[in-house]
């Protein structure tokens, strides 16, 4: 009998609906076939032991001290933040060793942090039941309150609730979701710019604040508006507010509408319209929300000129990371070769490129060897 267990939580690619989640709007992510795996075993010394294969780094924590630990600005904050949230709910943290391995590239806009948080929650729970929505929310709280990033709910939600073969459309106000089938005759290709510009976290915080300023202004004129989710483009135009704040609000309001339009286009199998909406979303992020950068703009501009590409946009928080591209399946090899050589020629960077396959949300893995977790000595466990 082997006492080790393995838990998996996926990264995500957001198809459309960027920076709409903390404005209580809609998002349309897919959980990815790239995931974080945590193998747990009893800790030999009564402490919580964390080992990251990626960082080749080992840390140990006295469990009773976890609630009073300060943030350390270290990768362990994601795990400790989740442990604190669980403890605050009265859930006991057992003395475990956590061996963490992630396939989700950091800084790529594919939510490596949410994958780590959600995998940590499942690992620390050790199969004890907690509502899946509660898991997503406590992981989000860990990131906001402990890691210090004022994020929305999308990444943790989709890491928990992701589905095979489908995207999920999340209503970030009601926290209800529905699955959305993506037409079979299109491949979803992520192209990693391999850059992540440093202003990310502070710029994210600024955007959150600018949206709050916009809501205050709009509400003075239209009292029914409590978040940008409630506002329409005409209300944004008619409200006096600083030009910059107006552009931020316009991105969110139009992006929200694009999610619905995209879902309808996907239901009709209208690939050209889906592609157009991708490009509109990117332009809105580029010019109104101002969260793109030269590298991802170049990737999008190049992609839309390649045969078989219906549309492209940056995905995730911004300032680098990945673009997501809708490509005719028979053209994917040529698309990859073309975009790679154009990007290499322009920036001297070799982009990582991969096909995104919608995968299931977080769970314990019963047979890590077969599932590709590739961690474990308990390959024979049923
Ligand atoms: C980051 C945040 C999410 C979301 C996206 C932008 O990934 O964690 O909550 O706001 O940026 O859509």
Taking all residues of the chain, what is their mean pLDDT, rounded to a whole number?
A: 94
User: For residue 382, what pLDDT is reported?
Assistant: 25
User: For residue 181, what pLDDT is reported?
Assistant: 97
What's the pLDDT tens digit per position in 176-186?
999 999 999 99
Ligand 1 pocket at CB < 6 A: 14, 18-19, 21-22, 111, 151-152, 154-155, 316-317
Question: What does residue 149 show for φ and ψ, rounded to 5 degrees?
Answer: -115, 115
Residue 365 has, within 13 A of its CA and on its CB side, a CA count of 29
Enumerate the H helices of the chain as residue ranges: 76-88, 112-125, 132-141, 154-161, 200-221, 233-238, 243-268, 271-283, 294-303, 332-347, 368-371
- Domain limits for position 324: 187-355
**For a pocket test of ligand 1, which of 14, 21, 148 has the largest count of ligand atoms closer than 8 A to its C-beta?**
21
Q: Given phi > 0 = left and psi -120 to 50 = alpha, else beta, which region is 54? A: alpha
Q: Are residues 301 and 369 in the same domain?
A: no
Quote the CA–CA distance of 270 and 278 in Å, as a whole number. 13
Token pair recorded at residue 195 = 């850059």
User: For residue 367, what pLDDT is reported?
Assistant: 76
Cβ(251)–Cβ(17) below 8 Å: no
Q: Are residues 50 and 169 in the same domain?
A: yes
Q: How many CB atoms lie within 10 A of CB 255?
A: 26
Quote the CA–CA distance of 29 and 54 in Å, as a whole number. 25
Question: Ligand 1 center to residue 348 CA distance, Å?
Answer: 28
Active site residue 155: yes
Q: Are residues 336 and 376 in the same domain?
A: no
pLDDT band, residue 381 (cuts 50/70/90): very low
What's the pLDDT tens digit per position in 43-79?
999 999 999 999 999 999 999 999 999 999 999 999 9
User: For residue 174, what pLDDT is reported?
Assistant: 98
Give how many domains the chain has, as a whole number.
2
User: For residue 370, what pLDDT is reported?
Assistant: 56
Q: What is the DSSP letter of 163?
A: B
Cβ(23)–Cβ(163) below 8 Å: no
Mean pLDDT of 117-145: 97
Mean pLDDT of 104-123: 95
Q: Are residues 311 and 252 in the same domain?
A: yes
Coil/strand/helix, residue 61: strand
| Whole-prediction pTM | 0.95
Q: Is the pLDDT of residue 376 over 80?
A: no
Quote the CA–CA distance of 279 and 301 in Å, as a whole number. 9
Q: Is the pLDDT of residue 198 over 90?
A: no
Q: Which of 77, 155, 230, 288 is catalytic?
A: 155
Quote the CA–CA distance of 321 and 295 in Å, as a whole number. 9
Cβ(31)–Cβ(359) below 8 Å: yes
Q: Are residues 239 and 329 in the same domain?
A: yes
User: For residue 2, what pLDDT is reported?
Assistant: 61
Q: Please give the number of the atom of ligand 1 that sits closest to the Cα of 153.
A: 9
Coil/strand/helix, residue 44: coil
Longest dimension (CA), the chain: 68
What's the pLDDT tens digit per position in 330-341?
999 999 999 999
Q: Are residues 90 and 113 in the same domain?
A: yes
User: For residue 3, what pLDDT is reported?
Assistant: 86
Cβ(183)–Cβ(271) below 8 Å: yes
User: For residue 378, what pLDDT is reported?
Assistant: 31
User: For residue 368, what pLDDT is reported?
Assistant: 72
Beta pairing, strands 187-196 & 320-327 = antiparallel
Percent of the chain topping pLDDT 70: 95
CB crowding 277-312: b at 16 or more within 10 Å, else e: bbbbbbebbbebbbbbbebbbbbbebbbebebbbbb
Q: Is the pLDDT of residue 377 over 80?
A: no
Query: Which residue, among 315, 240, 306, has the nearest Cα to 285 in the 3D structure?
Result: 315
Q: Are residues 138 and 228 in the same domain?
A: no
Q: Is the pLDDT of residue 353 over 90?
A: yes
Q: Are residues 276 and 365 in the same domain?
A: no
pLDDT band, residue 373 (cuts 50/70/90): low
What's the pLDDT tens digit per position in 208-249?
999 999 999 999 999 999 999 999 999 999 999 999 999 999
Mean pLDDT of 174-195: 97
Token pair recorded at residue 105 = 């590239």
Using alpha carbons only, how large is the chain's radius of gyration in Å?
A: 21
Q: Are residues 40 and 174 in the same domain?
A: yes
Q: Is the pLDDT of residue 167 over 90?
A: yes
Question: Ligand 1 center to residue 208 CA distance, Å?
Answer: 11
Quote the CA–CA distance of 112 and 256 in Å, as a whole number. 24
Cα angle 13, 16, 21 (rounded to 5 degrees) comes to: 90
**For a pocket test of ligand 1, which of 111, 136, 152 has the largest count of ligand atoms closer than 8 A to its C-beta?**
152
Q: Are residues 168 and 306 in the same domain?
A: no
Number of alpha helices (DSSP H) and beta strands (DSSP E) in the chain? 11, 13
User: For residue 372, what pLDDT is reported?
Assistant: 55
Q: Helices 112-125 and 154-161, interaxial angle, to 10°?
A: 50
Q: How far is CA 233 from the centre of its chain?
A: 26
Question: Ligand 1 center to residue 357 CA distance, Å?
Answer: 20
Mean pLDDT of 199-207: 86
CATH code of the domain in which 240 resides = 3.30.70.890
Q: Are residues 84 and 101 in the same domain?
A: yes
Token pair recorded at residue 180 = 């959305």
Q: How many CB atoms lie within 10 A of CB 380?
A: 9
Q: Are residues 50 and 103 in the same domain?
A: yes
């Amino acid at each position: 009998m082997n006492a080790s267990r393995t838990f998996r939580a996926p990264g995500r690619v957001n198809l459309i609906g960027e920076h709409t989640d903390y404005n209580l709007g809609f998002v349309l992510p897919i959980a990815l076939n790239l995931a974080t795996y945590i193998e747990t075993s009893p800790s030999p010394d009564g402490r919580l032991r964390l080992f990251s294969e990626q960082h080749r780094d080992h840390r140990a924590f006295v469990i009773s001290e976890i609630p009073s630990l300060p943030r350390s600005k270290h990768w362990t904050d994601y795990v400790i933040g989740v442990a604190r949230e669980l403890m605050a709910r009265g859930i006991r943290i057992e003395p475990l060793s956590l061996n963490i391995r992630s396939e989700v590239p950091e800084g790529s806009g594919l939510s490596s942090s949410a994958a780590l948080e959600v995998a940590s929650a499942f690992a620390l729970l050790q199969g004890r039941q907690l509502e899946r929505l509660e898991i997503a929310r406590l992981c989000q709280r860990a990131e906001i309150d402990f890691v210090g990033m004022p994020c929305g709910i999308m990444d943790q939600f989709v890491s928990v609730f992701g589905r095979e073969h489908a995207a999920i459309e999340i209503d970030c106000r009601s926290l209800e979701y529905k699955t959305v089938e993506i037409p079979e005759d299109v491949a979803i290709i992520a192209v990693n710019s391999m850059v992540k510009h440093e202003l990310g976290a502070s710029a994210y915080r600024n955007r959150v604040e600018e949206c709050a300023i916009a809501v205050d202004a709009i509400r003075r004129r239209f009292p029914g508006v409590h978040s940008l989710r409630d506002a329409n483009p005409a209300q944004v135009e008619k409200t006096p507010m600083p030009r910059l704040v107006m552009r931020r609000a316009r991105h969110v309001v139009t992006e929200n509408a694009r999610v619905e339009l995209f879902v309808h286009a996907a239901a009709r199998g209208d690939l050209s319209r889906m592609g157009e909406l991708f490009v509109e979303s990117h332009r809105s992020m580029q010019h109104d929300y101002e969260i793109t950068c030269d590298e991802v703009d170049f990737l999008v501009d190049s992609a839309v000129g390649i045969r078989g590409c219906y549309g492209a946009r940056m995905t995730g928080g911004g300032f680098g990371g990945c673009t997501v591209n809708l490509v005719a399946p028979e053209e994917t090899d040529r698309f990859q070769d073309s975009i790679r050589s154009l990007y290499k020629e322009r920036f001297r960077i070799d982009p990582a490129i991969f096909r995104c396959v919608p995968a299931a949300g977080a769970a314990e893995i019963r047979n890590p060897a077969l599932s590709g977790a590739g961690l474990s000595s308990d390959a024979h466990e049923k």
